[in-house]
Structure 1
Amino acid sequence: MYKKKYSNKFSVAPMLNYTDQYCRYFYRQLTKKTLLYTEMITSQELLYKNPDNYIRYTSNNQNPIAIQLAGNNINELTKCAMIAYSLGFNEINLNAGCPSKKAQLGGFGACLMLNPILLFNIIRAIYNTVPIPISIKIRLGTHNKNNYQHLYNFIKLVSKKNYCKRFIIHARIANLNGLNTKKNRCIPPLNYKYVYKIKKDFPNLKIILNGGIQNLQEAQKHLKIIDGVMLGRAIYKNPLMLCAVDQKIFSVHSIINKKILLDNMQKYIHYHSLKNIPIIYIFRHMLNIFYGKPQSKKLKQYFIHKIKNYTDITILFQKLSKKFNF
């Protein structure tokens, strides 16, 4: 079991269909200190379906890592927390911010912001079951309950008894009145001031800011006011940003060696190819290493074609090494 302390100062957001076990392995080659999150997994999926694609990982190379759970059934979520603890996760994160239609139909995600008493009871049950920290990921509110007082009252109730001290706040409301998930990530305006004020009003809580942060310079400015930042699609679009996180955010000297990085990924892909895992499942997460480079789109298309027609992983990585410089 992973016992070392970890920090929420910088984390990569849970992204459905993106931050799977293969993506996280790649990210861990780029940063040792960043807290990684699984994709969102519902309690029903974890308990009653094959969960391998969500939770299988090697603790020695992916910690620190948190699992994000979604649901509204106390007994189910408690069982999920026990499974997560037994698998070596460092943190249980509850999704109380997802605005998707699936979440609304299931009564979880952002819907839980409308039922803080239930959310508190879920947190209390998990707190009394496993000895690892609990965090929740929320929005500023919903389309019909979005003033600061509502957010304040929500956090005051949910953080009672200090069962949950870590709040990841996506600095937008969740519009549950017709906006799809993609539009909910950009149309509701950002409001960082509410998040800053929450930190001021609840100095004992760890407040992590999510939403709209594009680079480490912006992250460093926010960290002067709040406790942590979470980036999602900005990292997926430009994963090499993670190479500077340990040094710039955590003040830990870190140099990423291109040869070691590619060797590790080549061995990882070879190992999984022997288990009949398609190479593209892993390699797709690496393709954005060409972000910002001349003809990056053509480079990605070139390697996608190579992957589909590869015969030798070694040759594939030799070609990658020639094209990839940082």
Structure 2
Amino acid sequence: MEDERKSPISASQRLAIAPMMDWTDRHCRYFHRQLTRRALLYTEMVVADAVIHGVRERLLGYDAAEHPVALQLGGSDPEKLAEAVRIAASFGYDEVNLNVGCPSDRVQSGTFGACLMLQPALVARCVEAMKEAAPAGQQVTVKCRIGVDEQDPETALFDLARQVADAGTDAIWVHARKAWLEGLSPKENRDIPPLDYNLVYRLKADYPSLFIGINGGIQDLNQAVEHLRHVDGVMLGRAAYHNPGLLSDVDSTIYGEAGASVDLHSVVLTMADYIDRHVAAGGKANQVTRHMVGLFHGMPGARGWRQHLSTQAVLPGADGQVLRDALEKITAVQRAAA
């Protein structure tokens, strides 16, 4: 199913989990990695200024098991982005991605995110600076919208693609809807502007040798497989977060690995041990379990699983036993329903 000429990271890009603020932290990524060995995982967006001036281990640290993993940066100053890439180099990310798609007010006030669709030449300078700063073997990519506000997507997307391709980007991930910077909230921007998948397909047709990935409104792996007939990669966002169990079939469905489906019960036990280590290091159980409430979505016992995690993981002294107890409960329900 894969093109063997592609680099390992390019192969992993066939299916990616989108960067999602407050969601795709290191605990979420470790959990998702237990469900799929192959998919590319993304960090939350980290602002370049924070990388330069903040606590780097807290912002950039991750478990080696998360590979392949990509760092998403936010910013619009080429020099600062280059410095952030140089700082992040020692952490060994497989890819560094520039955010040109987030529509939040906080991002707009920093002059980056989706509003950069209005400044494609600046985006190109940022990409060029990041490429120069990146260590050998690390990809530099862009994640964008098809346009913002009154822009014509046919012009905006293709103009941005042309300039970042000339600047040397290794891939373009396109959220296939506009961002409205005036009049819509960030939440509304995820649903209200209409999707235009065909526009992204046409972009790929115009750039046959450049990796083009698609994002936005994709709900399951069947839809992902259909998109892969037209583009190089598919990025799942909220569907993967709210129904993470679907990731257990990624390696077999997307990467063609026979018998690669993952046993969810084994994943729970692995994560219980992970929570024990996290709590022993001073963390809290609910910092991990909050990402796992949807694991058994649509299955018998799912409601009880959610309730147990929501009520028990927040109690003082909670540890991995919360997951082990919840697993016993849902296993009993599933056996009764069989």
Do the structures match in fold with TM over 0.5?
Answer: yes
* 2:155 match: 149
Matches within 5 A, 1:7-86: 7=11, 8-59=13-64, 61-86=65-90
User: What is the DSSP-based 3-state SS (H/G/I as helix, E as strand, rest coil) of the residue aligned with 1:181?
Assistant: coil
- Distance across 2 between alignment mates of 1:211 and 1:114: 20
* 1:296 match: 302
Counterpart check, 1:244 vs 2:249: yes
Aligned residue type for 1:177: E
* 1:135 match: 141
Matches within 5 A, 1:193-272: 193-253=198-258, 254-272=260-278
Are the counterparts in 2 of residues 38 and 54 from structure 1 also a CA contact under 8 Å? no
- Distance across 1 between alignment mates of 2:327 and 2:223: 31
Deviation at 1:20, TM superposition (A): 0.1
Aligned residue type for 1:256: V
Deviates more, 1:291-300 or 1:176-185: 291-300
Residue of structure 2 aligned with 1:98, choices 86, 89, 102: 102
Counterpart check, 1:117 vs 2:98: no
Deviation at 1:290, TM superposition (A): 2.5
User: What is the DSSP-based 3-state SS (H/G/I as helix, E as strand, rest coil) of the residue aligned with 2:239?
Assistant: helix
Residue of structure 2 aligned with 1:175, choices 167, 174, 180: 180
1:128-178 per-position Cα deviation (integer Å, ceiling 9, x unaligned): 1212111100000111212313321221122105x1030100000111112
- Distance across 2 between alignment mates of 1:77 and 1:235: 29
Counterpart check, 1:188 vs 2:188: no
- Distance across 1 between alignment mates of 2:194 and 2:58: 34
Deviation at 1:260, TM superposition (A): 3.5
Counterpart check, 1:5 vs 2:8: yes
Deviation at 1:318, TM superposition (A): 3.0
Aligned residue type for 1:74: P
User: What is the DSSP-based 3-state SS (H/G/I as helix, E as strand, rest coil) of the residue aligned with 1:236?
Assistant: helix
User: What is the DSSP-based 3-state SS (H/G/I as helix, E as strand, rest coil) of the residue aligned with 2:22?
Assistant: coil
Unaligned runs of 5+ in 2: 1-6
Deviation at 1:263, TM superposition (A): 2.9
Give the alignment's Cα RMSD to 1 decimal.
1.8
Deviation at 1:255, TM superposition (A): 3.6
Deviation at 1:316, TM superposition (A): 2.5
1:32-61 per-position Cα deviation (integer Å, ceiling 9, x unaligned): 0000000011111222222444321122x0
* TM score, norm. by length of structure 2: 0.90
1:171-199 per-position Cα deviation (integer Å, ceiling 9, x unaligned): 00111112111000001000111101101
Aligned residue type for 2:41: L
Deviation at 1:270, TM superposition (A): 0.8
* TM score, norm. by length of structure 1: 0.93
Aligned residue type for 1:71: G
